[in-house]
Each structure stands twice: as structure tokens, then as C-alpha cells.
Amino acid sequence: MSSNSHSDKDIYQVMLLNHQHYAVPVKSIISVLALEKILSLPDTPNWVTGVVHVRNAIVPVVNLSFLFEIDSLSDESRHPLLVLLRHPHDSQRWLALCLTDITQLIDTEQLAETSLRSSPHPCVKHVVDIDSQPLHLLDISKLFEQLMKDPG
């Protein structure tokens, strides 16, 4: 490694959902939990799986595969983890992503060396190739924005 002075901001957590790789800044992760019983909500888009009760709060659960229209399968056994994220500018606002697994930590320096692809969705900052696999770097603020948009 070239440097030991990385801040949390530079480090991303790579996560796996239905064979797709996503990454979020470590700083925005509150915790990783085993999947709770999700309560489905009526009148919501299919990518809002429902809500869970974690840390004394009712938190919406987002399925990225549905949001990015990558996968249309819905099977909770395929994503047994929940990663709880906080809003970058408002620590009182949370959301949860359902995941299959969490894998490695990477830093931005590593990402700089990889080739960039165009972003397929407003909630994705960049897509980069890592080990020939596309990695979606999520824009957490946009994800929250998307969630708070009232479909009604």
C-alpha cells in the first residue's frame, strides 16, 4: 500500500447482491445486520421491499436490483443481510439495503486505477471495473432523495 493516511471517506465497502457488486463509503455504514422480518408497504415502488424495526426506528429497506432494474427475482434467502446506512448530511435519517454478502474494503486510489463506465442510474456515481466485474459506486444522497420522493 502506498499510504497509511487514508480517511474513512476514501474507503468503500464492497457488497454483493444477486451477483452484482456495489460499494458505499464506509463512513455511511451504521451497521450490518442479519435480515429482520420485513413488513411490506402498500402503494410503494417494487424496489422498496418494506420496513424493518432496527435500533428503535422504522427504516425502509431498498432492493438495489429492483431499483436499477438489474434483476427481477425477489427471494429473501438470496439476500440475508441488511446494511444500515445514514444520510451523509443528516445522521438522523437512515435506510437499509438488503444484500447477499459483504466482501472487501477498497480505497479510492485503487479505484482510480480502474476503468470507468458511464453511470446507468442517478443513484450510481460511477461504475468501475474490478477484476473484470462492474462495481457500482452508490451516491448515498441520491438514494435518500429517491426514497423520500412521494410517489403519490
Partner 1 sequence: MNPSLSSATAAFHQEALQTLQQIEDWTLSSIHNPSAVMEQQAETFRLLHSLKGTAASFGNESIAQVCHAIENVLDDKTQLKTQDSEALLMAIDYCRHILSNSPLSPEQHDEHRDECIARLNKLVNDPNSANQTQPGEPSGSVWQIDFAPYARFFENGHDPLRIIRSLRNFGPIKVSVFTEKLPEFADFDPFQCYLRWQITLKAELDYHQLAAQFEWVKHICDVTIDILALPQKKRVIEPNRYKLNEANLEALLTVSQTLQSQLQQTVALTNQLNQTDKIRLSRRNHAMKRQQQLLQQQLLHIAMCPLADAFARLPRMAFDLANKTAKPVQLNMDIAPIELDSFIVNSLIDPLTHLLRNAMAHGIEVAEHRQQQGKPLTGQIHISAEQAEDQLIIRFSDDGAGLAEDKILVKAKQMGINIQDLSDKPKISEWIFRAGFSTSQSADAISGRGVGLDVVKQHVTDMGGDIELVSNQGRGCCFIIKIPVLRSLMDVQLIRIKDQTVALPLIHLIDSYLWDNARVIWLNGKQWFITDENQQVPLIDVGRFLQLPDTERNEQFAHILLVNVDKRFFALCVDSMAEQMHLLIKSLRPHYHHINGIKGIAILPEGDLALLLDSSKLLMSYEMVSGN
Residues forming contacts to partner 1 in the complex (CB under 8 A) are 33-34, 36-37, 39-44, 48, 51-60, 92-95, 147-150, 152
Considering beta carbons, is residue 12 or 94 the nearer one to partner 1?
94
Considering beta carbons, is residue 56 or 132 the nearer one to partner 1?
56
- Rounded least distance, CB 74 to partner 1, Å: 13
Contact 95, 85 (CB under 8 A): yes
Tell me how far CA of residue 82 lies from CA of 1, 7, 37, in angstroms: 30, 24, 11
Cell triple for 135: 462495481
Considering beta carbons, is residue 36 or 107 the nearer one to partner 1?
36
- Rounded least distance, CB 47 to partner 1, Å: 13
Considering beta carbons, is residue 37 or 89 the nearer one to partner 1?
37
Considering beta carbons, is residue 14 or 84 the nearer one to partner 1?
84
| Runs of H (alpha helix) within 3-139 | 64-67, 108-112
Contact 62, 143 (CB under 8 A): yes
CA dist 9 and 28 (Å) reads: 9
Buried-state track 49-73, b at ≥16 Cβ within 10 A, e below 16 = bbbbebeeeebbbbbbbbbbeeeee
Q: Is 131 helix (H, G, I), strand (E, B) or coil?
A: coil
